[in-house]
Amino acid sequence: MRLADFIEQHMPVILASWESFAASLLPAAASASKATLRDHSEQILQAIVQDLRTVQSPQQQATKARRQAHPPAGAGHTAAQTHAVLRATSGFTMQQMVAEYRALRTGVLQRWFDAHERGPESEADVTRFNEAIDQAITESVEFFSREVERWRDVLLAVLGHDLRGPLNAMLLSARLIAALGDGTPVSEPTARLLRSGERMKQLLDDLLDYSRTALDVGIAIRPAPIDLAAVCREEIEVQQAALPNCRIELEVEGATGGCWDASRMRQIVSNLLANAARYGDPGGPVKVTVNGREARLRLCVENPGPTIPRETIELLFEPLRRGASSAASPEGTSMGLGLFIVRQVAQAHGGSVEVDSANGRTIFTVVLPRGPYRAV
């Protein structure tokens, strides 16, 4: 008897063993129903049986061994992929899910060896069976990880959204106290409270932007005709007060009008200036250039500081990554989302971000089309 026939013939016993093992995976299994414990185990076994009965060329076997085999396009999710998503949403850990496959492998092979004499065909069947189990594990681990990341991003989005309400109420109250207590002993503490609240608001805004992009919603923009030089000048005034040890210079060239989201442009300037102050030479000048001499406008932020290795430049735009701060930069004031958001905002406008770092100077250049951009 071939292994595929053996699995089909003993399917009820194998499924009962799967269910029994799944019931031991606490605490998630404690409140799970029989259907939840079995989940897609039967479909997974049927897929394995089908795989065992499918003629496989040496090339196909080599591809599967390298774990490069994928379901045909449009075939939908496999049973192993669906099982992973349901296990993740039911509270099982990835280690527990992988343990299910380990128990399945051991249980099937042990029963077959006890009831079947080994021969050349049985060795080939065992190899194919192990390949099929490994493929199912690979698919399950990949989809389990995706599901965990998706729910993490949802949690971050909900957290960022729900915290904005209480924070806005705190800021409103602080502004009221500041207006009533100007010149009194409470004015300085109130000013600190407002600065801290605005910083928290900026962090929450960054968190929401990250969550939107992670959930494939994208950064929201509201383009309108603006003068980017004027927007930069206003934001530089705000940032200069927040970065007293940083000398910020603005240079404007050519026509600087276009159709962009003014709030998002301020966000780009703010994040690039904060990055320059954090990682550049302490006290070094930061030069902001708005160049409108070409069809596409170029916004550059340049600062002196350590040269960034070419191989790490692309990593700067990955979310939740932070470089080594300068000695003058306070720790714990950044989540590593600033440059990620700069690129996302630029791309939402149909633009891009370039980085040039050499000879002790680093330049971030945001290239923007002037007209409203519509994603295809």
Residue 375 resides in a domain: no
3-state secondary structure string across 283-319:
CCCEEEEEEECCCCEEEEEEEECCCCCHHHHHHHHCC
For residue 236, CA distances in Å to 64, 250, 275 come to 56, 8, 14
The 10 Å Cβ neighbour count of residue 36 is: 16
Statement to judge: residues 142 and 158 lie in one domain: no
What is the per-residue pLDDT for 337? 78
**How do the pLDDT tens digits run along the chain, 376 residues long?**
899 999 999 999 999 999 999 999 999 899 888 899 999 999 999 999 999 999 877 777 666 666 554 555 455 789 999 999 999 988 899 999 999 999 999 999 999 998 877 777 888 899 999 999 999 999 999 999 988 888 777 777 767 766 776 787 788 888 888 887 666 776 777 877 887 888 788 778 777 777 777 666 677 888 999 999 999 999 998 888 778 888 999 999 999 999 999 989 999 999 999 899 988 998 889 999 999 999 999 999 999 999 998 888 888 888 766 665 544 444 444 557 789 889 989 999 999 999 999 999 999 999 999 987 655 4
Statement to judge: residues 8 and 149 lie in one domain: yes
For residue 112, CA distances in Å to 46, 129, 130, 320, 363 come to 17, 12, 14, 49, 66
Statement to judge: residues 81 and 186 lie in one domain: no
Residue 374 resides in a domain: no
What is the per-residue pLDDT for 71? 55
Residue 376 resides in a domain: no
Q: Which residues contact 275 (CB under 8 A, 6 or more apart)?
A: 301, 338, 339, 364
**From CA 97, how far away is CA 305, in angstroms rounded?**
48
CA atoms within 13 A on the CB side of 161: 8
Statement to judge: residues 110 and 205 lie in one domain: no
Residue 38 resides in a domain: yes
Which CATH number goes with the domain that contains 40?
1.10.490.70
Residue 219 resides in a domain: no
Statement to judge: residues 30 and 138 lie in one domain: yes
Residue 159 resides in a domain: yes
What is the per-residue pLDDT for 326? 44
**From CA 261, how far away is CA 269, in angstroms rounded?**
13
What is the per-residue pLDDT for 45? 95
Statement to judge: residues 133 and 183 lie in one domain: no
- pTM here is 0.58
What is the per-residue pLDDT for 374? 57
Statement to judge: residues 285 and 164 lie in one domain: no
What is the per-residue pLDDT for 112? 92
Statement to judge: residues 198 and 261 lie in one domain: no
What is the per-residue pLDDT for 173? 82
Last residue of a domain, one of 125, 153, 181: 153
Residue 296 resides in a domain: yes
Paired tokens of 38: 């079995």
Q: Which residues contact 239 (CB under 8 A, 6 or more apart)?
A: 248, 269, 270, 273, 274
**What pLDDT, in 10s, does the model give residues 128-143?**
999 999 999 999 999 9
Statement to judge: residues 137 and 16 lie in one domain: yes
**What pLDDT, in 10s, does the model give residues 311-333?**
888 888 887 666 655 444 444 44
Statement to judge: residues 203 and 332 lie in one domain: no
Statement to judge: residues 145 and 55 lie in one domain: yes
Statement to judge: residues 186 and 102 lie in one domain: no
What is the per-residue pLDDT for 292? 94
Last residue of a domain, one of 107, 122, 153: 153
**From CA 130, how far away is CA 65, in angstroms rounded?**
10
What is the per-residue pLDDT for 328? 43
Which CATH number goes with the domain that contains 337?
3.30.565.10
Residue 345 resides in a domain: yes
The one-letter amino acid code at 228 reads L
Domain that includes residue 354, residue range = 224-368
Q: How many domains does the chain have?
A: 3
Calculate the average pLDDT of the chain.
85
What is the per-residue pLDDT for 304? 95
Catalogue the long-range contacts made by 114-121 (C-beta closer than 8 Å, 24 or more residues apart).
115/6, 116/1, 116/6, 121/2
Max distance between CA atoms of the chain, in angstroms, equals 94
